[in-house]
Amino acid sequence: MPKPGIKVFAPASVANVAVGFDILGFALEKPGDEVIIREGSSPGLVISLITGAGGKLPYDIQKNTAGYSAYRLLEHLGETDRPLEMEIHKKMPFGSGLGSSAASAAAGVFAVNEFLKSGLSKHEILRFAVEGEQIADGAFHADNVAPSLMGGMILIRDNETLDIKKLHIPHGLCVAVIYPHVEVLTRESRSILKPEIPFKDFIKQSGNLGSFVAAMYTSDFDMIKRSLHDLIIEPQRAHLIPYFYEMKEAALKCGALGFSISGAGPSMFALCDNTGVAQDILEQAKSIYKTKKLHIDTYYSKINHEGAIRF
């Protein structure tokens, strides 16, 4: 009989949000990953079970995002010899653009932090989760991990120091997410990006980001709509996503405040000011992709304010 443990959930997230490449992301209500931590029988952390990953995830702590983020926390606490057993239950797809590896990393570190009752805050353990996710895509950015762990919509002033701010969420803001079943690996989706951007695009995009943040604080949906444009990343990645522009046009016609790629893709998101619009967009998506004979999953969500939770 396994010893009793604790179970945590960390949600999927939408990164970039059209205007904040690598520095903006928000948490969804679902899907997400679950991690169980219990006392082990020999010194050190081991992964005893992984489900839902189709055999694709390593059991080696140093190579597993959930395992490594938890290990980094144990190192920080001087507890690497503590006998611990981890189960990882993947409840969301890989390479979906919904922060799958980030959700595992957030769940892993959060579960150990709760189990050990370390007293460290979510912000204090964030760095370990980002280091865990870094194993998956090679880059150090918290735009998925921070919302997955801490909830809400998070603006990252600086990824290195993890200087972050949870933004105000206007009442009624919700999201429609469409995940077409094609795999886009973040590492590859990053490698196609040009290292330089034209000066005029920089100016416009800075305007969009600044005004988006201001509009969030003043619940100014018209300004959110005018701001949600990605001149820089979306045009470079749209070709990775089947029928992206067709779907975008349909979403904007339905009344979306904005529509763009979720993280590195292939998922897409539409921010909306009411549930009806979001549901219409999801119906449109089902009809478009059915005609194209491409399977999709759809999710409707409010912004998840909690992030990782024990349940």
* Contacts with ligand HSE, residue ranges (CB under 6 A): 15-16, 21-22, 137, 141, 143-144, 186, 189-190, 263-264
List, in sequence order, every residue forming a beta bridge with 164; answer none if it has no partner. 156
DSSP state of 2: P
User: Taking the CB of residue 71, how many other CB atoms lie within 10 A of it?
Assistant: 24
Rounded Cα distance, 306 and 235, in Å: 32
Q: Which is nearer to ligand HSE, 135 or 250 (CB)?
A: 135
Rounded Cα distance, 108 and 1, in Å: 22
Closest approach of Cβ 82 to ligand HSE, in Å?
30
Q: Which is nearer to ligand HSE, 146 or 176 (CB)?
A: 146
Name residue, tokens 């020999």.
42
User: Taking the CB of residue 77, how many other CB atoms lie within 10 A of it?
Assistant: 14
Phi, psi for 178 (deg, rounded to 5): -125, 125
Closest approach of Cβ 108 to ligand HSE, in Å?
17
Q: Which is nearer to ligand HSE, 16 or 301 (CB)?
A: 16
**3-state DSSP call for residue 77?**
helix
Closest approach of Cβ 190 to ligand HSE, in Å?
5
Q: Which is nearer to ligand HSE, 14 or 247 (CB)?
A: 14
Q: Which is nearer to ligand HSE, 232 or 288 (CB)?
A: 232
**3-state DSSP call for residue 206?**
helix
Q: Which is nearer to ligand HSE, 12 or 250 (CB)?
A: 12
Closest approach of Cβ 298 to ligand HSE, in Å?
20
Phi, psi for 95 (deg, rounded to 5): 55, 35
Residues 6+ apart with CB under 8 A from 151: 11, 27, 166, 304, 305, 306, 307, 308
Q: Which is nearer to ligand HSE, 113 or 144 (CB)?
A: 144
Distances (CA, A) of 53 to 6, 207, 220: 21, 41, 41
Closest approach of Cβ 69 to ligand HSE, in Å?
15
Phi, psi for 156 (deg, rounded to 5): -105, 110
Q: Cβ distance 157 to 163 under 8 Å?
A: yes
Closest approach of Cβ 245 to ligand HSE, in Å?
19
User: Taking the CB of residue 264, how many other CB atoms lie within 10 A of it?
Assistant: 26
Closest approach of Cβ 65 to ligand HSE, in Å?
12
DSSP state of 232: S
Q: Which is nearer to ligand HSE, 224 or 264 (CB)?
A: 264
